[in-house]
Amino acid sequence: MSEPIYLATIGIFFGTIFMIFLIRSQTIIKKAQLQAENEASYRAVAERAVAAQEQTAAALADLQTRIIAIEKVLKEVE
């Protein structure tokens, strides 16, 4: 076997291994980025849900205060 053919064969072999390594590493990086974005979007949804629950709790507390005041007025009228 001649030397150029041998070197070309070795080069193709190691080049293929390098390309596989490069593609796998890029895939892992992209997967991690997508997962981080997904977690960030879930975190944003959770924060909005907590804010909505806090608003609802405040509204219910205000409503309860008003109901107590109305019941007090109604008892005084009777």
Return averaged pLDDT per consecutive 10 residues of the chain, 78 residues in all: 90 96 97 95 95 96 95 87
Residue 11 confidence (pLDDT): 95
Residue 16 confidence (pLDDT): 97
CA 58 to chain CA centroid, nearest Å:
28
- Rounded to two decimals, the pTM is 0.58
Residue 76 confidence (pLDDT): 87
Alpha carbon distance 76, 70 (integer Å): 10
Residue 29 confidence (pLDDT): 97
